[in-house]
Structures are given as C-alpha cells and as structure tokens.
Amino acid sequence: MNKKKLAYKIVIAALLVLGYLNYFGDEKKVEKKDEVIETTGAVYDTDGYHIEADKQKDFLKTDETMFEKAKAILNGMTLTGDNALVDAGKNLLLKTNIFGKSLNGWEFETQEAKYNKEKGEVESNVGVKAINKEEGIEISGKNFKSDTKMENVFLSGDVKFKTKNVTLSAEDAKYNDQDKIVNIEGNAFLSGTDFGDGSGILSGDFKGLKYDTKTNLLTTSNSFMMDYNGIKLYGDDLVLNDKTEAFKISKNVYILADGYKINMESITSDGGDNINFNGKIDGTNGIYSFKGNDGVYNKITKKFVVKGDVEGSDTSGGKLLADMAIYSTDTKELELIGDKNIEYTSLENKILTKNLIYLTETGELYLKDGYTYFSEKYESKGQSFFYNKNTGKGYVIKGNIKNLLDNQYASGDRVDFDREEDSYLVQGNAYFEDSDYIFESQKIDYLGKKGYVYLPEKYTLKRRKDKDTFEGLKGEYNLTTEVFKSFGAFKYVGKDNIIEGVNLDFNQKTGIGNVEKDLVAFDKKGETKIVSSTGEFKQNEFVKVKDKLVLTSGDIVANANSADYEIKEGKVFIPGEITFEDTVKKSSGKMYNGVYQTDKKILTGENFTGKDMKNALKSDIIKYFTNEGNIILEKNAEIKDEKSTIKGNQLEYNKNTEIAKSPKPFVIKYNEYDIYGQNGTLDKKTSHLTGKDVLIKSKLNEEFKGDSVDGTLDNMNLDFIGNVSGRIYQDGVPVNFKGDFVRAYFKKDNDGKNRIQRVEIRKNAVIEKEGTTLYSDYLEIQPEKKLVFGKDNTKAVLKDKDGTVTTVTSNMMNGNLNTEVIDLVGKVVIVRKSKDKTLNATSTKAKIKNKENLVELRNNVYVDDGESIITADEADYNTKTNKVKARGNVFVDYKANESRNVIDINKVNSGYNKILKK
C-alpha cells in the first residue's frame, strides 16, 4: 500500500474516533463544516489516472478532487494545466494553460479541456491548437475531440490547418493516425502564404481537402480556386506536395489574370522555380485573345511564357503570329519572340520582327533584333524600335521611319521622334528628308512644331526641287521663314555653279544667299573659280562680287575690283581694269571691261596688252580661251618677239603650242623680210610658216609670191605653191621667176642676215633676166654663185637688142647667169629668128655663150639656116655674124632654091654634096 492510501486510512480512522467522542461526549451544539482535505506535493492514482500536482483538494461531500499545477497521465497521453478536477464520475477537467502530448508525437494547447472517462476522449470547446512537430503540422480550431492516443483527432469551428508552406482555414478537420491523413472538410480557404522561398503569395478557396502527412500531399477532387500573386488558378483536381512544393492542377483548368481567362489541360510544378501550363493554351479578355502549345510561369522572374505556334487576335481584326510570348506579372511586360519573324497585322498596320516587347501599363512598345513596321501613316525598318503610345514619343536604333502623310523620312544609328511635336532627333549617320529637303549629318534635330531644324555638326542639305546642295560645319534652318543659316565654312553646289565661303544666310524663298566672308564661286565643272572677301548669290542665276575679285581658270589668275557672274548665261561680267597671269606659262596681261565665259573658258576684253616669256601682245579686242591657252586678238592685233612681229585684224595665238594663226590678212616682219598674206599660220617655236596668197619682200627689194607658202622662217627655207612668182637681184640686175612651185633656200651671212642661196622652181618654171628667159619643169637658181640649172623640158629664150630671138630646148640646162654661159645636154634644139632669117639647129649637147654671141653645138649636129643644111660632129654658131663653123664629118646641103624642111640623113652621112663652108 502506498503512502497516499495509508494516509487516507489514517485520516478516516481519526474522523471516526472524533465522531464517536463527540457523539458520546457532552451534549454541545455542533456546527457544520466543509469536508475538504488538502494535500501538497500530491500524487493521485485511481482508475487509470496518474496525477501529480503541487496541491490536491479532496471534496468528500461531492467526491471530487481538485489539483493545482497538475500533470495527468492517462492511456498514453500526458496532460498538464494550472487547474484540474476529477469529478465523481472520474472524468478529468482541466483549465488554464492546458498542454497535452500523445505518444505518436501530437501536442495540443488549450485553456480548457475535459477527459470523458467513459468515452476515453479528450474534448475542448474553447479553442485548441494541435501540433505534430515531426510531421510539421499544426491544426487549430474552436472545438477539439481526440482519443488519448490522438489516433483520431477532430476539430471544428474556425479550423486552421498549417504546414510549412500552407495555411488553410476550414470548417472541420479530422486526423487519423493510422493512415496519417488529415481530412479538411467543408469550405476551406488557403490564406496568403509565402510559397517557394518567398517568391509568391498563394491563397485560395477549396471544398474537401486531404493532407497525407506521410507523403506531404495536399489533395482535392472538388472544384477550387487558387490565387497566386493575383493570378487565379481554377481546377477540379489538385495534388500539392507541401514539402517539395510540387503540385498538379487538372480537370477543367483555367486561369484568371489581368482580365484574361486562360484555358489549358493542366498546371504542374516540380517544386522548382517553374510552374508549367500543359496542353494547348488559349486565353482572352474579351478584346484580345491568344493561344499556344504550352506555357510556363517562373516564380522567381514572375514571368508567364507561352510557347509554340503562338497566335493572337483582337476584336478590331488584329492578328499576331509568334513562336513564344512572355508576360511579366510583376512589370506587366509582354514579350514576343520568333525564330524567323513575329508577324502582327491589323486593318491599320503590320509589324514584322524577331522580338516584340509591350509594357501594358505604360503603353510602351519595343521591337528588337530587326523589324519592319507598316501602317497607313508610318513605315519603319531597323534593328530596334521603341514607342510610347501615351506620350507619342519613341526611337529607332539603326533604322528609319517614314511619315507617309507628311512625306517625312528619317534614318540613322538612332532616331528619336515625338509625334505630338512633329520632331525628330537623328544621331549617327543621320539622314532626314521631307517633300522639300534632305538633311545629312551626324546629328539632326528637326523640330516641326517649333519650326526649326538644327544641324550642330558637319552637315549636308539637299533641296529636292532645285536639286542643289549645301555642305557645312553647322547649320540652322527656319521652317517658317525658310531662311537657312550656315555657320563657319560652307559649300553650296547648284545645278550650274558652286559657292564656298564662311557664314551663309540663305533665303529659300528668294533663292538669294549672302556670304559674310571668304566667298569662292565655281562654275558647273569646277574649272573656274571666283574669289572675293564677300558677296551674294542667287541659286542658278548670279553671283555678285562686291569687293576685290580673283578669278582662276586653269592656270590663269585674273584680278579686278568687282564682278557679276550670270550663271544661266555662264558669263562673268568684269567692269574696269582686269589684270591676269598664267602661272605656268609665265604670261600676264591687262584688259578692260571683260567678260569671262565659264563654259567655254573664254575671257574677252578691250584694249589688251600682254606678254609671255617670248612675246609681247596687244589688240583692241581679246578673246582668251584660258583652258586651251588660245588667244584671239582682234583689231590692231600684234604679236611681237625679238625676231618677228605679226600684225593683223585677227590673230590667234596658242600659248601651249606657240602657234600663231591669222584667218585674215596679216603682216609678219621677220628680220629683213616683210611677209604679207591673206591667212596663215606661224609656229613660233619652230618658226614654221604656212599661208595663203603670201607675198614676201626683203629690204633688198627681193620678192616671193604664191598661192600658198610652207616653210621655216628661221632658216628661210620656204616652199611657194601655186602661181608662184618672185624677184631676186644679181649684181643689181633683177632676176624674175615664176612657176607652179618654188622652194627658196636662204643662208645667214656674216651679219646674221638671211641671204637667198638657192631657188627651185617646178612645173611651168620661168626665169627671166634682162633679155634671157629660161623655161623648164624644173629650174634652179643659185644667185650667189650666179648659177642656173634646169631639167625636164628645159627651154631658154634669148633676145638680142636687134630683136633677134634665140630659143633653145634640151633635156638639161646648166648655166651661169653672170657669164651668161649655158650648157645644154640631150636633144638640144636651137631656133634663132631674126627679122629676115630663121636658123634651126639640133645636137646632143650645146653651150650658149651669150656675151660672146656664140653657140657651141656638139655631137650629131644639124644646122638649117634656110639656105643650106649642115650636119657635123661639131659646130660653132656665131649669133652676131650668123656664121657656122662645122667640124668632123661635115656635110653641107645647099637648097638651091628648093625649100626643104627634111634632109636625107643617109645622104649627108655618105658624103653626098660634101662642101666645107667657111
């Protein structure tokens, strides 16, 4: 027997003794007292109870026992509390800070609990929290019922079921320790719980859930809704692994997110970062619809991805084709990706790109990895594109954008645009054009509404209508006033001219530009340059030089005080004095009131004087072909060098070839010769002269004349052709000649003067000296040697003072004009006619000695003096005495009153009538 039972017996015995003594003692009044026994450090055992407490009170009358700070052990369950009561039915009641623990690992806490001994159950209706630490489960509810082993636990009334990742509110919950399953019955609500390491908040509404503590699976086969960060997931079947966070939603699955209802076959997750949306996906918000092969949601990035054959559409007729769509639930960003091209078409526009991003909240659109955009108003193509539909602002990277309605086009490395302001900021390889202009630079700031175009860097401006171009370092264009300003050095290229300078103010309406300084104007080909300190110009019409002028064309530099360049005429009008210089040919000149033709490169002027390294030139009028180096001098023209002077009313001189031409009558004074002609050409480099109707006279009164001349003046070797005539002197006696062709050879004497050396006369050649005239197809005179030579049909006619004419023909003639001795060779025929007598003679050779009045005949001599015929080997005929001396085989035939023109040569040779006439 334990001490507590012994104490109870002792107490009972004492009570009985006291009762007896009172009963049999003096009769006194007995007052009623409570029958309570208090015990400290109590241990109480009865009927399956074992209780330990700091204090025990036994109420004998009611048969109840109360405990303070008690610990009860009953059928495998331990209960502790501040207060406990065992009633008469041996039921255990506990109050305040109740803690219970079963052998299977369950614990619970409450403020009030009752153990029903008959049922063997622990109950509470003031709220209980039950925890299984091993299984990581916490269940709480207003009403609690469990056996002492907590093998069957039932909670109801505001039930909360918690695991590591899940918190559920429900009507009822039941736990069976045998299958380790918690049945959550009735309507259940999954409250906002961090799911997946804080990556998202999960909540939802359920009906009829089961939680398997062995597998950590939360399941339901009833329709439910789960809310994950505002995305509502619907289905009829759920399997959720609370430990791995893996789950599967199936049967009638759909999602509500951002106004969209999205259908799919199932939703699964392996507990990692991704939630998979399986099977064909389609969704709509009533306006926009889409579909794809499957999808995935990443809990970390909070992005929803639809993959494979993605299609989209809207109620206005828009259609979208892509390979992948990515929607960020955090940023509300939609990204579309295509292996080839994403294609979006609507009634108004079309987009082709590989990557499209649309921020649904801000209305921002991004196109990446190359795109093409078409609409009724705009077209664009490039590497990437951005546009905010709310602000109307956007940009293009390495591409272009075209406003079809306003006919504007911009392209560059980056093009920023503002549709509200009608502005474009183009940077890097910048290009902008509208219906009137084309701008090119590294940076273009086009402000349509403000009415300005700023070109802060090196630029090119082209005008479409006028087809001209401005180039410069910095520019500004006022779209309202149409005034363009260029700061610093600039270049204007028009249809017919080029203008350069520093600081330009150009009025597009009037076409007039003012150049502040350093004006330079070029012609169309850029071959003529006009330079001045300042001036103005009008597109394709004129350039006015207001200050000093420097005109450069080829090697020519001209200077003047002012000029008007009439572009359409291609002429530069230069009033007043003009000086010019050829820097290459080292020539210069001066003229007045000039005109320069830029297309023909002709400079004309008045009262011209000039010079080069060899010549001095002057004329009343000059036409200077600067590009060719050709000069035309008109009226009182003169070209003079140290040897010659050319004069005429029109002279043409080329400085490059040094050839002077005269298409009109001219005079050349060359040393001691004056050369006249109707037209001619003189190569001043070689002194080669050609001319028509040329007459050359020397200071010695020598003269050469012909239809044309060709030769060199330096050595005076000249050919005269056609109707040639001339005169030279021999010892003061004139020798005249003529023929179809004459070649004259001159030689410088000791004084350096040209003297005639030889004259060749061809075809119908005639030489006359005093009474002697020579004819031939070729005659040659050597005046210095007094020689004459002829061949081919030569003939000499000698006239005596008495009128007798001697005509001599031969194959060849060689004579001395000084001695007047002529040698004749071949078929010599001499006919001498006096007033009353004619003599005919022939021979193979002959010599005429005119001064000696002697003709010497040699070989096969035949003489007919009218009275007789003489044949001989030799004969000398004295023209003065008319006597013939014959020698060698001489035959004489007297005519004896017969007139015979032909002799019988056989008879002469045979010696018939041989007579020697002395």
Which DSSP string corresponds to 688-710?
Answer: EEEEEEEEEEETT--EEEEEEEE
464 pLDDT higher than 80: yes
> Residue 140 is encoded by which pair of tokens?
């709480």
Cβ atoms < 10 Å from Cβ of 507: 15
Burial of 856 by CB count in 10 Å (0-12 exposed, 13-18 middle, 19+ buried)? buried
Which DSSP string corresponds to 263-324?
Answer: E-SEEEE-SSSEEEEES-EEEE-SSEEEEESEEEEETTTTEEEEEEEEEEEETTS-EEEEEE
Q: Which residue has the higher pLDDT, 788 or 619?
A: 619
Among 108-117, 225-234, 420-429, the minimum mean pLDDT is found in 225-234
Mapping DSSP to helix (H, G, I), strand (E, B) and coil, where does residue 369 land? strand
475 pLDDT higher than 50: yes
Whether 809 contacts 777, CB under 8 Å: no
Report the alpha-carbon distance of residue 607 to residue 563 in Å, rounded: 18
Report the alpha-carbon distance of residue 327 to residue 674 in Å, rounded: 106
Contacts of 13 (CB under 8 A, 6+ apart): none
Contacts of 183 (CB under 8 A, 6+ apart): 173, 174, 175, 176, 209, 210
Mapping DSSP to helix (H, G, I), strand (E, B) and coil, where does residue 351 land? strand
Q: Which helix (H) or strand (E) holds 101?
A: strand 92-102
The predicted structure's pLDDT at residue 254: 93
254-288: pLDDT as tens digits: 999 878 899 999 999 887 888 899 999 999 999 88
Residue with structure tokens 């009358």? 61
Contacts of 20 (CB under 8 A, 6+ apart): none
627-664: pLDDT as tens digits: 788 889 999 999 998 888 999 999 999 888 889 999 99
Share above pLDDT 70 across residues of the chain, in percent, rounded to a whole number: 93
Report the alpha-carbon distance of residue 433 to residue 408 in Å, rounded: 6
> Residue 913 is encoded by which pair of tokens?
């009538």
825-849: pLDDT as tens digits: 999 999 988 888 888 999 999 998 8
Picking from 185, 250, 249, 248, the residue whose alpha carbon sits closest to that of residue 211 is: 185
Cβ atoms < 10 Å from Cβ of 679: 18
Provide the 8-state DSSP code for 900. Answer: -
Average pLDDT over residues 155-178: 86
Which DSSP string corresponds to 107-132?
Answer: EEEEEEEEEETTTTEEEESS-EEEEE
Provide the 8-state DSSP code for 665. Answer: -
The predicted structure's pLDDT at residue 34: 59
Whether 728 contacts 705, CB under 8 Å: no
Report the alpha-carbon distance of residue 468 to residue 786 in Å, rounded: 78
All structural domains of the chain: 464-547 (no CATH), 549-664 (2.60.450.10)
* 38 confidence band (pLDDT: 50, 70, 90): confident
Report the alpha-carbon distance of residue 783 to residue 788 in Å, rounded: 8
Residue 19 main-chain phi, psi, to 5 deg: -65, -40
434-445: pLDDT as tens digits: 888 999 999 999
Report the alpha-carbon distance of residue 724 to residue 743 in Å, rounded: 10
Please give the single-letter amino acid code of residue 163. T
Q: Which residue has the higher pLDDT, 902 or 559?
A: 559
Q: Backbone dihedral region of 122: left (phi > 0), alpha (psi from -120 to 50 degrees) or beta?
A: beta
> Residue 310 is encoded by which pair of tokens?
């993605």
735 pLDDT higher than 90: no
The predicted structure's pLDDT at residue 263: 94
Picking from 275, 277, 235, the residue whose alpha carbon sits closest to that of residue 253 is: 235
Residue with structure tokens 């860097």? 457
Could you give the C-alpha distances from 781 to 601, 814, 848, 899, in angstroms and in order?
50, 10, 17, 41
Assessment of whether the complete model's pTM goes beyond 0.85 = no
Find how far residue 547's CA is from the centre of its chain. 39
Among 29-38, 312-321, 552-561, 774-783, the minimum mean pLDDT is found in 29-38
485-527: pLDDT as tens digits: 999 999 998 887 889 999 999 998 898 999 999 999 887 777 8
Dihedral sign from CA coordinates of 460, 461, 466, 467: positive
Find how far residue 338's CA is from the centre of its chain. 30
Find how far residue 441's CA is from the centre of its chain. 11
Whether 79 contacts 115, CB under 8 Å: yes
149 pLDDT higher than 90: no
Share above pLDDT 90 across residues of the chain, in percent, rounded to a whole number: 35
Q: Which of 100-114, 441-455, 615-629, 845-859 has the highest mean pLDDT?
A: 441-455
* 574 confidence band (pLDDT: 50, 70, 90): very high
180-233: pLDDT as tens digits: 888 988 888 877 666 555 455 678 888 888 988 888 888 999 999 988 777 888
The predicted structure's pLDDT at residue 410: 94
The residues that bridge with 160 in the sheet, in sequence order, are 140, 169
Please give the single-letter amino acid code of residue 506. F
The predicted structure's pLDDT at residue 195: 57
The predicted structure's pLDDT at residue 792: 83
Report the alpha-carbon distance of residue 738 to residue 779 in Å, rounded: 10
* 7 confidence band (pLDDT: 50, 70, 90): very low
* 10 confidence band (pLDDT: 50, 70, 90): very low
Q: Beta 452-455 vs 772-782: how paired, if at all?
A: unpaired
Report the alpha-carbon distance of residue 222 to residue 227 in Å, rounded: 16
The predicted structure's pLDDT at residue 674: 92
407-423: pLDDT as tens digits: 999 999 999 999 899 99
* 911 confidence band (pLDDT: 50, 70, 90): very low
* 338 confidence band (pLDDT: 50, 70, 90): confident
42 pLDDT higher than 60: yes
- Report the chain's terminal Cα–Cα distance, integer Å: 226
